[in-house]
Amino acid sequence: MEAVGAVLGAGGVAVDYVRLENVSPTPASAFSVDPLDFVRIDGEARDRGLTLLGLFHSHPGGAAEPSDADRRGAWPGQCCWIGALRADGSIELGAFPLNGGSLAAGQADRQKRIV
């Protein structure tokens, strides 16, 4: 099952992560967020002086690269974080400023890191 959550930030820097429910009818290979959850978390972020920077989701058994569906579904101005579990147990994290989003560090078009 793909995990999904909201990345909240201040000044373009991620400072918190809030897990959300994956409501996709095919959660093993896709994710979807209830629009009401999205509105709720955006309001909670604003109440805390934070901004909803984008969504994180996992690619179980896949690569930390945005799929065609990720690119089509990217919200304007937000960043897409992807985590992929690698065969050696490490996790590859990728951050992709799809559809006009941006990365705070260096404003690169992507960042990847193994943790």
Count of residues near Zn ion by CB under 5 A: 2
Name the residue nearer to Zn ion (CB basis): 70 or 92. Answer: 70
Q: How far is the CB of 41 from Zn ion (least distance, A)?
A: 19
- The length of the chain, given as a count of residues: 115
Shortest Å distance, C-beta 21 to Zn ion: 16
CA distances from 37 to 22, 40, 54 (A): 10, 5, 13
Toward Zn ion, which CB reaches closer, 67 or 102? 67
Q: Hey, what are 81's tokens?
A: 């974080």
Residue list 14-73, contact with Zn ion (CB under 5 A): 67, 70
**96 three-state secondary structure:** strand
Q: How far is the CB of 10 from Zn ion (least distance, A)?
A: 26
* Closest CB to Zn ion among residues 43, 60: 60
Q: Least distance to Zn ion from the beta carbon of 80, Å?
A: 8
Q: How far apart are the first and last CA of the chain?
A: 20
70-99: which residues touch Zn ion (CB under 5 A)?
A: 70
Burial of 4: CB neighbours in 10 Å, binned 0-12, 13-18, 19+? buried
Amino acid symbol at 62: G
Binding site residues, Zn ion, CB under 5 A? 67, 70
